[in-house]
């Protein structure tokens, strides 16, 4: 029985963590919730990991993007520069381990807070992307969709001098760029209606679409256990599935570097990189 406590169970190191998670999850259908921490080993930074939590980051706010043209200009200028490095990211051992668990019918599906598409790239089939995917762009006026790669070509055509600017990649697939550098950046419009384009992701301050939330809750209901990988669970969009699992008295495992909001609900906590633990866990859970 999983209960919220003031004193979470102690976090285990990798070796002991594999054994403890295997014991907790063996023989159960394991729903997996992933966050940015699973993709840091693929070169994509996060917001709250040990290497980034000390940095001051100002993620794009939904309302500001909708109503302030200068915010959209800044976002797309940064995105033009961050996109090439973002697209070079490849799935790591942790992604492939979850794919193996899905194929072995241990994992019925994944819920991810990530927008990088790496679960799909690794071969996972049932992936609920809570916050959307950066690979798509949509028009806020007519709803038309465009591949992000196509928009990249259009932005480069309008802003050829930006192509060789050196920048630091940000977690959302954009990049650090001064306001001075943004001035004069030309933002493409929808090719169908001339409307405003937005990446098909959920910005801070926006809500996950209700049907997708319902699908995610339904997936949790299919499982016998929940495994959280690489998430601090600070954002409620992911944390709510942990509380639902606790309400259902499902065993909960958390694999993360650093503390998480759900630690008081966990039966097993492991402090390690996902790539260290998940491949060995997959072997343990699929061993006949």
Domain termination residue (choose one: 181, 201, 221)? 201
Check the annotation: does 42 bind a ligand: no
Check the annotation: does 223 bind a ligand: no
Check the annotation: does 20 bind a ligand: no
One domain for residues 116 and 192? no
Set 95, 119, 120, 131: catalytic member? 131
Model pLDDT for residues 12-24, shown as the tens digit of each residue: 999 999 999 999 9
Q: What is the pLDDT of residue 174?
A: 55
Domain termination residue (choose one: 158, 179, 201)? 201
Tell me if residue 131 is catalytic: yes
One domain for residues 25 and 109? yes
One domain for residues 73 and 60? yes
- If you count them, how many residues does the chain have? 288
Check the annotation: does 231 bind a ligand: yes
One domain for residues 64 and 167? yes
One domain for residues 8 and 28? yes
Q: How far apart are CA 239 and CA 233, in angstroms?
A: 5
pLDDT, greater one: 50 or 256: 256
pLDDT, greater one: 47 or 255: 255
Check the annotation: does 114 bind a ligand: yes
Check the annotation: does 159 bind a ligand: no
One domain for residues 37 and 156? no
Q: How far apart are CA 152 and CA 156, in angstroms?
A: 6
One domain for residues 257 and 162? no
| CA dihedral (98, 90, 81, 186) positive or negative | negative
One domain for residues 98 and 194? no
* Residue 266 lies in domain: 1-44+91-131+208-287
Q: How confident is the model at residue 164 (pLDDT cuts 50, 70, 90)?
A: low
One domain for residues 159 and 67? yes
Phi first, then psi, for residue 146 (nearest 5°) are: -140, 140
**For the residues 110-115, what does the mean pLDDT come to?**
97
Q: What is the pLDDT of residue 45?
A: 86
One domain for residues 282 and 230? yes
Give Cα separations from 99 to 20, 109, 238 (angstroms): 21, 9, 20
In CATH, what number is assigned to the domain containing residue 212?
Answer: 3.40.50.1220
- Look at residue 180 and tell me whether its pLDDT is greater than 90: no
One domain for residues 173 and 271? no
One domain for residues 10 and 145? no
- 217 and 22 Cβ atoms separated by less than 8 Å: no
Domain count for the chain: 2
In CATH, what number is assigned to the domain containing residue 142?
Answer: 3.30.1600
Domain termination residue (choose one: 201, 219, 253)? 201
Model pLDDT for residues 185-208, shown as the tens digit of each residue: 999 999 999 999 999 999 999 999
């Amino acid at each position: 029985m999983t209960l919220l406590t003031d004193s979470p169970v102690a976090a285990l190191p990798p070796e002991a963590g594999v054994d403890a998670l295997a014991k907790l999850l063996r023989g159960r259908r394991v729903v997996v919730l992933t966050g940015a921490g699973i993709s840091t080993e693929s070169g994509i930074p996060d917001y709250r990991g040990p290497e980034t939590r000390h940095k001051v980051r100002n993620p794009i706010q939904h309302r500001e993007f909708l109503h302030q043209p200068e915010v959209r200009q800044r976002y797309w200028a940064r995105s033009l520069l961050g996109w090439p490095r973002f697209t070079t990211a490849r799935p790591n051992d942790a992604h492939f381990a979850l794919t193996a668990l899905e194929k072995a019918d241990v994992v019925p599906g994944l819920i991810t807070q990530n927008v990088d598409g790496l679960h799909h790239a690794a071969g996972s089939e049932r992936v609920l992307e809570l916050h959307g995917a950066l690979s798509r762009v949509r028009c806020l006026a007519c709803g038309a969709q465009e591949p992000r790669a196509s928009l990249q070509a259009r932005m480069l055509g309008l802003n050829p001098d930006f192509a060789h600017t050196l920048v630091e990649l940000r977690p959302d697939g954009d990049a650090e760029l001064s306001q001075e550098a943004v001035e004069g950046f030309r933002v493409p419009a929808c090719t169908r209606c001339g409307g405003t384009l937005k990446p098909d992701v959920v910005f801070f301050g926006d809500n996950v679409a209700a049907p997708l939330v319902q699908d995610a809750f339904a997936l949790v209901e299919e499982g016998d256990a929940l495994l959280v990988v690489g998430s601090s669970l600070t954002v409620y969009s992911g944390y709510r599935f942990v509380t639902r699992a606790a309400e259902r008295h499902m065993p909960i495992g958390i694999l993360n570097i650093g503390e998480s909001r759900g630690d008081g609900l966990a039966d097993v906590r492991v402090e390690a990189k996902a790539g260290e633990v998940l491949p060995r866990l997959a072997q343990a859970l699929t061993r006949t």
